[in-house]
Structure 1
Amino acid sequence: MDMNTIEERIRTTDPGLWREGDAWLAGGTVLFSYGSQTLRRLLDLGSAGWTPLALTEDGLEIAATCTIAELYAYGDPANPARAGRPALELIRQCCESFVASFKIWNMSTVGGNIATALPAGPMVSLTAALDGEAVLWGPGGSVRTLPVADLVTGDGTTALAPGELIRSLQLPAAALASRTAFRRLSLSNLGRSGVLLIGRHLPGEAPDGGMRLTVTASTKRPVRLDVPAAYDAGDLAAALEAAIPPELYHDDLHGHPRWRRDMTHLLAEQIRRELRPH
Structure 2
Amino acid sequence: MDMNTIQDLVPTAQPSDWRPGDAWLAGGTVLFSYGSSTLQRLLDITQGGWEPLTASAEGLEIAATCTIAELYAFAGELPPAASEWTSLAAVRPCCEAFVASFKVWNVSTVGGNVCTALPAGPMIALTAALDGQALVLSPDGSSRTLPVTEMVTGDGETALAPGELLRSMTLPAQALSSRTAFRRLSLSNLGRSGVLVIGRLDPDGTFVLTVTASTVRPVQLRFGALPDQAELRAALDDAIPFTLYHDDVHGLPQWRQYMTERLSEEIRAELAGETEAGQ
Deviation of 1:48 (Å): 1.0
Alpha-carbon distance in 2 for matches of 1:253, 1:274: 30
Alpha-carbon distance in 2 for matches of 1:202, 1:230: 10
Deviation of 1:83 (Å): 2.2
Query: Residue in 1 aligned with 2:272?
Result: 276
Q: Which amino acid aligns with 1:149?
A: T
CA RMSD in angstroms, aligned pairs only: 1.4
Alpha-carbon distance in 2 for matches of 1:230, 1:223: 18
Query: What is the DSSP-based 3-state SS (H/G/I as helix, E as strand, rest coil) of the residue aligned with 1:60?
Result: strand
Contact persistence 1:67–1:110 (CA under 8 A): yes
Query: Residue in 1 aligned with 2:141?
Result: 141
Deviation digits for residues 221-274 of structure 1 (CA, Å, limit 9, x no counterpart)? 000011343622111111000000010000000010000000000011111111
Q: Where does 1:100-249 land on structure 2 (aligned, <5 Å)?
A: 100-204=100-204, 209-229=205-225, 231-249=227-245
Deviation digits for residues 76-116 of structure 1 (CA, Å, limit 9, x no counterpart)? 16665552111011110100000311110010000000000
Shift in alpha-carbon separation, 1:146–1:78, aligned structure 2, 3 A: closer
Q: Which amino acid aligns with 1:70?
A: E
Query: What is the DSSP-based 3-state SS (H/G/I as helix, E as strand, rest coil) of the residue aligned with 1:20?
Result: coil
Query: Residue in 1 aligned with 2:72?
Result: 72
Query: What is the DSSP-based 3-state SS (H/G/I as helix, E as strand, rest coil) of the residue aligned with 1:120?
Result: coil
Deviation of 1:202 (Å): 2.2
Deviates more, 1:226-235 or 1:2-11: 226-235
Shift in alpha-carbon separation, 1:247–1:36, aligned structure 2, 3 A: same
Alpha-carbon distance in 2 for matches of 1:151, 1:79: 29
Shift in alpha-carbon separation, 1:111–1:15, aligned structure 2, 3 A: same
Q: Where does 1:16-31 land on structure 2 (aligned, <5 Å)?
A: 16-31=16-31
Query: What is the DSSP-based 3-state SS (H/G/I as helix, E as strand, rest coil) of the residue aligned with 2:250?
Result: coil
Alpha-carbon distance in 2 for matches of 1:78, 1:24: 30
Deviation of 1:190 (Å): 2.0
In structure 2, the gaps of 5 or more residues are: 275-279
Contact persistence 2:136–2:164 (CA under 8 A): yes
Deviation of 1:3 (Å): 1.1
Deviation digits for residues 37-62 of structure 1 (CA, Å, limit 9, x no counterpart)? 11111111121111000100000001
Deviation of 1:10 (Å): 0.7
Query: What is the DSSP-based 3-state SS (H/G/I as helix, E as strand, rest coil) of the residue aligned with 1:75?
Result: helix
Query: Residue in 2 aligned with 1:41?
Result: 41
Contact persistence 1:6–1:39 (CA under 8 A): yes
Alpha-carbon distance in 2 for matches of 1:126, 1:81: 20
Q: Which runs of 4+ in 1 moved over 2 A?
A: 77-83, 227-231
Contact persistence 1:229–1:276 (CA under 8 A): no
Shift in alpha-carbon separation, 1:182–1:230, aligned structure 2, 3 A: closer
Shift in alpha-carbon separation, 1:277–1:188, aligned structure 2, 3 A: closer
Contact persistence 2:2–2:37 (CA under 8 A): no
Q: Where does 1:82-93 land on structure 2 (aligned, <5 Å)?
A: 82-93=82-93
Deviation of 1:2 (Å): 3.8
Shift in alpha-carbon separation, 1:185–1:77, aligned structure 2, 3 A: farther
Contact persistence 1:211–1:275 (CA under 8 A): no
Alpha-carbon distance in 2 for matches of 1:230, 1:160: 34
Contact persistence 1:210–1:276 (CA under 8 A): no
Q: How many residues align?
A: 274
Alpha-carbon distance in 1 for matches of 2:143, 2:238: 34
In structure 1, the gaps of 5 or more residues are: none
Alpha-carbon distance in 2 for matches of 1:228, 1:50: 37
Alpha-carbon distance in 2 for matches of 1:126, 1:198: 8
Alpha-carbon distance in 2 for matches of 1:2, 1:46: 22
